[in-house]
A and B are shown apart, each in its own frame.
Chain A
Amino acid sequence: MSSNELLLSVEDVTLRFGGVVSLNKVSMNQRRGEILAVIGPNGAGKTSLFNSLTGVYQPQEGTILLHRIDQPALSVIGQKAHRVAKAGVARTFQASRMFGALTAFENVKIGAEDHSGLGFVGAMFKGPRTRRGERASDARTYELLEFVGLTKQANTVSASLSYGDRRRLEIARGLATNPTVLLLDEPAAGTNPSEKVELTELIRKVRDDMGVSILLIEHDMKLVMSLAERLYVLNFGAVIAEGTPDEIRANPAVVEAYLGSSATKGKN
Chain B
Amino acid sequence: MKSLLTNKWLKSFGITATLMVIICFMTGPSGSNTDPVAGFSGSLFNSAPFLGLFITRRWVVFLLFALIAFVVQQGWQAYGRQVKVRYAKVMATPRELKSKRPVRLGTYGALLLLALLLPHLVTDPFWQVAMVQQIAVYVLLALGLNVVVGFAGLLDLGFVAFYAIGAYATAWVVGSLPLPPLFGHALNNFWAIPIAILIAMAAGIILGTPTLRLRGDYLAIVTLGFGEIITLFANNLNGITGGPQGSRIIPHFHLSLGPLKYVWGNGPIPYYYLILGFLILFLVGFSFLEHSRVGRTWTAIREDEVAAESLGINPLKYKVMAFAIGAASAGFSGVMTASQQNFVFPTTFSLFFSINILVLVIFGGLGSIRGVVFGAIVVQTITMYLLHSPPSGYQPADLYMYIGAMLVGMMIFRPAGLLPATRRKREIVQLREEAQ
Contact = CB atoms under 8 A, between A and B. Distances in A.
Given A99-B307, A100-B426, A82 B314 contact: yes
Given A115-B297, A123-B288, A123-B289, A101 B313 contact: no
B7 to A, nearest CB: 34
Contacts of A85: 309-313
B292 interface: yes
Contacts of A130: 292-293
A55 B92 CA distance: 35
Given A120-B321, A123-B294, A124-B288, A110 B91 contact: no
Interface stretch (B61-69, B93-101, B261-269, B358-366): B93-101
Contact of B299 (A99, A113, A176): A99
Nearest to A93: B307
B289 A120 contact: yes
Contacts, number: 127
Given A97-B304, A99-B299, A119-B294, A111 B311 contact: yes
Contact of A159 (B295, B310, B430): B430
Contacts of A101: 299, 303, 422-424, 426-427, 430
Interface string B167-199: 000000000000000000000000000000000
B296 A106 contact: yes
Interface string A83-120: 00110001101000111111100100111010100111
A159 B296 contact: no
Interface string B368-399: 00000000000000000000000000000000
Contact of B309 (A81, A99, A155, A159): A81
Interface residues of A, number: 43
Contacts of B353: none
A91 B310 CA distance: 7
A106 B288 CA distance: 15
A81 B313 CA distance: 9
A54 interface: yes
Interface residues of B, number: 40
Contacts of B430: 100-101, 159
Contact of B95 (A98, A119, A123, A155): A155
A137 B294 CA distance: 13
Nearest to B91: A160
Interface in B269-310: 285-286, 288-289, 292-297, 299-300, 303-304, 306-310
A157 B294 contact: no
A102 B91 CA distance: 10
Given A82-B314, A115-B297, A160-B91, A124 B286 contact: yes
A93 B303 CA distance: 15
Given A125-B285, A160-B91, A133 B310 contact: no
Contacts of A240: none
A80 B299 CA distance: 21
B325 interface: yes
A102 B286 contact: no
Contacts of A100: 303, 426-427, 430
Contacts of A174: 310-311
A86 B93 CA distance: 32
Instruction: Pick from B96, B303, B304, B307 the residue with the most CB of A within 10 Å.
Output: B307
Interface of B: 88, 91-96, 285-286, 288-289, 292-297, 299-300, 303-304, 306-315, 317, 321, 325, 422-424, 426-427, 430
Interface of A: 54, 56, 80-82, 85-86, 90-91, 93, 97-103, 106, 109-111, 113, 115, 118-120, 123-126, 130, 133-134, 137, 155-157, 159-160, 173-174, 176-177
11 contacts: A80-B309, A85-B309, A85-B311, A91-B310, A99-B308, A123-B292, A123-B294, A126-B288, A130-B292, A137-B293, A160-B92
Which 4 A-B pairs have CB atoms at the shortest separation, nearest pair first?
Answer: A155-B94, A123-B292, A124-B285, A101-B426
